[in-house]
Amino acid sequence: MDIIIGAGVTGLSYAMFCKNDYLILEGSDSIGGYCKTTKRNGFVWDYSGHFFHFRHKEIEELVTSVIDPQTLLQVDKCTKIKYKDKLVDFPFQKNIHQLDKEEFIDCLYDLFVNETKYSTTFKEMLYEKFGRSIAEKFLIPYNEKLYACDLNKLDKDAMGRFFPYAEKEDIIRNFKRADNGSYNGQFVYPQGGAIEYIHSIATHVDADKIRLNSKVRRIDVEAHEVILESGEHIHYDRLISTMPFVQLLDCCGMTYAPETYSWNKVLVFNLGFDKQGKDTETHWIYFPEDKYCFYRVGFYSNILQSDRLSLYVELGFSALDSIDVDTYKQRVLEDLQKAGIIQKDMQLVDSESIIMNPAYVHISKAAEKDIQLQSKLLENSNIYSIGRYGGWCYCSIEDNILQSKELAERL
């Protein structure tokens, strides 16, 4: 029997590919993990922006097989950066020519006259790769708001392929021939929200083998038992965990240095207004400046082509921060008006807030080394930790599906 902890994308995908008998234990009252959707008062909101960027046709066909193709929106991404009084095309480093002349010259000069070499941290990498001006105008302040930590604590490859690298030649070439493509230049989005993907994957899973409201309290590694908060003991032959890696270590009673692992949490506001805003084209905007409390604002209404403004707004915090949701909601509304996204005559019709904890894990050499060591010990006891949080990594939803497939085939 394979016991799968978590009925999010990764856990459901493992069950979909699994040839063994299995049981999924989900701590909450519904499947989906962070890929849930609220549909209310004519608004469609996810737990935050979840846009699938398929690189493998077979995965796309599998995941969308039971979704009406007429409801799948194929979207060419349009993203901007709010920099001072301008909206600059993303990525910043490839669009420095859109800045005022003096700032453009600073960025170009520092790009070529750059003495930073041999970086080992994420912050050092930004200086080495792009020079002081590009790093300090956007890349450092934005990522500090996102990760809510000192960027020197992150490994230089913390974002892997997801960081929008650009060579000097690409940056110069972009001055005259725009090419802002990235790994997610196009995305697919169901009109019913990200939960439609979950429902599609779940059609390949035996519903009788999903147990909701079954939160794991402890794992007895020696006895091969999962102990639920209800006190129930469930035997497993193999345990596939998608819970955050440090939570798995705690449940298993493993010894580790807590300071090795860190992460941020993200406060998400989903906001619906009575009318559409002025911007009807942009899909999301990045905000590096401290005068705005959020680091990103996304426009569901521009993706779904609705006639009322529908937003997700994301704020980054340290894992140790306490969050006064009501205070930040008021600050968000004020800052949205300051940014020109909403106007005084617009009325907030409906809203909700979600705290994602963890949201983005902090990837460091120390954490990677310890994960490798602890994973070997766990696998010796037939425990496998996978997924974005189970693997303690920065990856896409499609990556989680592929990882689940590979593990299911291996086992």
Domain residues of the chain, as ranges?
A: 2-50+192-256+363-410, 79-173, 264-356
CB contact set of 318 (below 8 Å; sequence gap of 6+) = 148, 149, 264, 265
Are β-strands 284-286 and 216-220 bridged in parallel, bridged antiparallel, or unpaired? unpaired
DSSP annotation of 361 = B
pLDDT digits (tens, 9 = 90+) for 249-299: 999 999 999 999 999 999 999 999 999 999 999 999 999 999 999 999 999
d(CA 53, CA 60): 9
SS3 268: strand
CATH number of 79-173: 1.10.3110
Q: Phi and psi of 327, rounded to 5°?
A: -65, -45
pLDDT for position 180: 58
Length of the chain counted residue by residue: 411
Three-point CA angle 147, 35, 211, nearest 5°: 120
CB contact set of 101 (below 8 Å; sequence gap of 6+) = none
CATH number of 2-50+192-256+363-410: 3.50.50.60
pLDDT for position 284: 96
pLDDT for position 184: 59
The H-or-E segment that residue 39 falls in is strand 37-40
Cut 0.75: pTM above it = yes
Q: How far is CA 236 from CA 16, 55, 249, 284, 394, in A?
A: 18, 34, 17, 44, 29
SS3 107: helix
pLDDT digits (tens, 9 = 90+) for 305-338: 999 999 999 999 999 999 999 999 999 999 999 9
Three-point CA angle 280, 162, 75, nearest 5°: 30
321-324 contacts: CB < 8 A, separation 24 or more?
A: 321/148, 321/265, 323/265, 323/267, 323/355
Question: pLDDT means per 10 residues in the chain (411 residues)?
Answer: 97 96 97 95 90 83 88 91 96 95 96 87 95 97 97 92 85 80 72 94 96 98 97 98 98 95 97 96 97 98 96 97 97 98 96 97 95 96 97 92 96 93
Q: Say if CB 154 and CB 120 are below 8 A apart.
A: no
φ/ψ bin of 214: left (φ > 0), alpha (ψ from -120 to 50), beta (otherwise)? beta
Architecture of domain 264-356: 2-Layer Sandwich (3.30)
**Identity at 193, one-letter amino acid code:** G
d(CA 44, CA 24): 27
Arithmetic mean of pLDDT over the chain: 94
